[in-house]
A and B are shown apart, each in its own frame.
Chain A
Amino acid sequence: MVSIPLTLYDWAILFVYFAFIVWIGFYLKKFTKTDTDFFLAGRRNSMWVCGIAFMSANMGSMEVIGYAGQSVKYGLYAAHFYLIGAVPAMLFLGVFMMPFYYHSKIKSIPGYLKARFNESSRVFNAAMFVVNMILVSGIALYLQALIFHTFLGWNWDLSIWLSAAFVALYVTLGGLLSAMFTEILQFFLIWAGIVILPILGLVDIGGPAAISHSLSEGFKTLWSTSGSPQNNPMYVTWGGLVLGLGFAIAFGYWTTDFLIIQRAFSAKDLRSARMTPIIGSYFKLLLGAVVVGTGLIALVLMNNPSSGFTLLIENGKTNYDSVIPLLMCRYFTPGLIGVGVTSMVAMFMAGMAGNMSSFNAVWTYDIYHSVVNKDASPQKLVNIGRIATVSGILLSVAGAYIARSMPSVIDYLQAISSMFLAPSVAIILLGMFWKFITPKGGLWGMLVGTFVAVALFIAQEVKLIPVSFVIPDFSGADAQSYMAANFWRAVWAWLISSGTAIIVSSFTRRKTEDELRGFVYGLVDINETAEEKVVWYKKPEFWAVVTMGIFILINVVLW
């Protein structure tokens, strides 16, 4: 067990952070009066507030600590999660999808499914989202407790319950407004704690050239070794990366996961809502450089035995998630350690607050208000939202203990995403861009796609089928292909959902054009989506093209 020696200065920084978060919750409570205040932060936020909160909700522990570890495991291939696995989908959301979402005045993604299809689609999608959130929150809570327990030496149970109590306190008090406020504070803290790490690391190893000299071809390029799975450390081909990660998983997460899109719904106008994911895409690229860069520096140090740097080994298995905490131990002096530990805590808090604020919105609007009590007053909905937050956190505590008992939470988390997100994105995209899809087609598409993906995962876990069963271009070692299997399972789920939706739609009743108006491409009133006239350099399209240019340049340079 590693223990970071905290000085008085480090404890003071940690104390200031916790005191600030709780105080903000109480400060915002008096400004949270209506259900729109609680669930959509009053719909009055600027594009910068929304864009930063959007990225902060994504900057949970998995994104930073997890992917730094994945960079040690997969080299530069881990950067695909920040490039093709994020940027195209974020830009598509901002440029094409946001006008539908924003103008339909929906309060959640399941709310869009109700408007486009029917009540059953909404309830099914909401139920899947709620299950997904509880599982993901349980893992986040477990990882937060792991940091407290491993690096601060705190008692395991105390670590879990204390983390849960803080999140419950500030999300219950101020809802999304409070979650977004603290997410923005956390965003700055996370950067303050992690940007300094690769800077010191580069000084230590002798500059960026050392990375190029020390690593083999497969670990330092993005695409040149993707022709055959055996040539790269991820055991994946470009087909799996483009179709699985770049399309099915990335579009599923960035364009339909209410956890992050909820931040854009709180924007004061359509342009701000559209700019939200585009602003986020710049920070995503920057985050990728910092996180993957840190992982590659660790890899260089590990390749050099005289550096004395090794990862934690637990029960004979390498703990890749220990990269960032161990590098902090290596380079951080008093004061810096306080910022580093606080930034790790902030990552978990940001992720958990995001999970819980979206959980309470979907539970309250799409399950309670839709199925249990259709006549509930706005005040009643706020109270139900607060109760849902506390209940959700209690369920997450149970989930944290389950996650603690599992051998690998990372593979588990990726599998959850591939099962629950791909069917949703298939149906939402089809429904949004093609009026041919009927309510029954949409519902059956989601049902069958989710069922097949879950069945494939369970069959793989109980060894009924090999891991490589879902991989069409498979030629590597079966046990090393989990990542490729996650990518391809998502592709199959997407194809099966789409196919089922199209087949069922061809013999079931379609909605009329009047019923679909505002929810399908081509049937939106131009006046509704008209934005205030702004100069060209303030348009979302301009900034999306700039991001796309940077994205292409990075892929070419690191080909």
Chain B
Amino acid sequence: MENDKKGMRSIWFFVGLLLSIIGLIEIAAGISDLIFPSADHVRLSNLHANLWWGIIILSAGLIYIIKNRNSYVTM
């Protein structure tokens, strides 16, 4: 309720939240793939693109969250 009085949260905060959650899931998939390789049939699976792409997405998400954690749009 307190947040409602402040106004609407900035869209960039939600962008950060979504990217962070998806980045985390991708990293989990990448680590799981490292320990239990399951995608040998996929070309270039040795590059572990899911792991490093997950790290990039999570990093982008965290930057958006930190920069916009106190950002509200007054209605």
Interfacial residues, chain A to chain B (CB-CB below 8 A): 7, 9-10, 12-13, 16-17, 20, 24, 28, 30-31, 42, 44, 49, 181, 184-185, 188-189, 192, 196, 200, 203-204, 330-336, 338-339, 342
Contact = CB atoms under 8 A, between A and B. Distances in A.
Given A185-B14, A338-B29, 8 more contacts: A31-B8, A31-B75, A185-B15, A331-B44, A333-B50, A335-B28, A336-B26, A336-B49
Nearest to A334: B29
Interface of A is mostly: helix
A333 B42 contact: yes
Nearest to B22: A13
Contacts of A181: 11, 14
Contact of A204 (B25, B29, B44, B73): B44
Q: Chain B interface mostly helix, strand, loop or mixed?
A: helix
Contacts of A16: 18, 21-22, 25
Contact of B25 (A24, A332, A333, A335): A335
B29 A49 contact: no
B72 to A, nearest CB: 11
9 contacts: A12-B25, A16-B18, A31-B8, A192-B19, A331-B49, A332-B42, A334-B38, A334-B50, A336-B53
B39 interface: yes
Interface of B: 4, 8, 11, 14-15, 18-19, 21-22, 25-30, 32-33, 38-39, 42-45, 47-50, 53-54, 57, 73, 75
Contacts of A184: 11, 15
Contacts of A10: 29
Nearest to A11: B25
A192 B11 contact: no
A185 B13 CA distance: 10
Contacts of B28: 9, 335
Contacts of B30: 333, 335
Nearest to A183: B11
B2 to A, nearest CB: 14
A364 B53 CA distance: 44
A204 B43 contact: yes
Given A331-B49, A336-B50, A336-B53, A13 B15 contact: no
B44 to A, nearest CB: 6
Contact of B44 (A12, A17, A31, A203): A203
A332 B38 CA distance: 12
A20 B8 contact: no
Contacts of A31: 8, 75
Contacts of B45: 333
A179 to B, nearest CB: 12
Nearest to A188: B15
A185 B18 contact: yes
Contacts of A9: 25-26, 28-29, 32
Contacts of B29: 7, 9-10, 333-336, 338
A215 B53 CA distance: 30
Contact of A192 (B8, B57, B73): B57
Nearest to A42: B75
A343 B71 CA distance: 27
Contacts of B44: 200, 203-204, 331
Nearest to B19: A188
B57 to A, nearest CB: 6
Contacts of A185: 11, 14-15, 18
Given A31-B8, A49-B11, A200 B25 contact: no
A31 B57 CA distance: 29
B31 to A, nearest CB: 10
Contacts of B39: 333-334
Most chain B CB within 10 A, of A185, A188, A189, A333, is at: A333
A512 B36 CA distance: 77
Contacts of A332: 42, 49-50
Nearest to A332: B42
Given A332-B42, A335-B30, A196 B49 contact: yes
Contacts of A28: 8
A28 B4 CA distance: 11
A330 B45 CA distance: 10
Point out which of B25, B30, B38 has the most chain A C-beta atoms below 10 A from its C-beta. B25
A241 B43 CA distance: 38
A546 B15 CA distance: 28
Given A16-B21, A203-B47, A333 B33 contact: yes
Contact of A189 (B18, B27, B32): B18
A13 B47 CA distance: 21
A200 B26 contact: no
A336 B27 CA distance: 10
Contacts of A20: 14, 18
Contacts of A330: 42-43
A335 B19 contact: no
Contacts of B11: 49, 181, 184-185
Contacts of B53: 192, 196, 336, 339
Cβ-closest 10 pairs across A and B: A335-B29, A9-B29, A335-B50, A335-B26, A333-B39, A334-B29, A336-B50, A333-B50, A31-B8, A12-B25
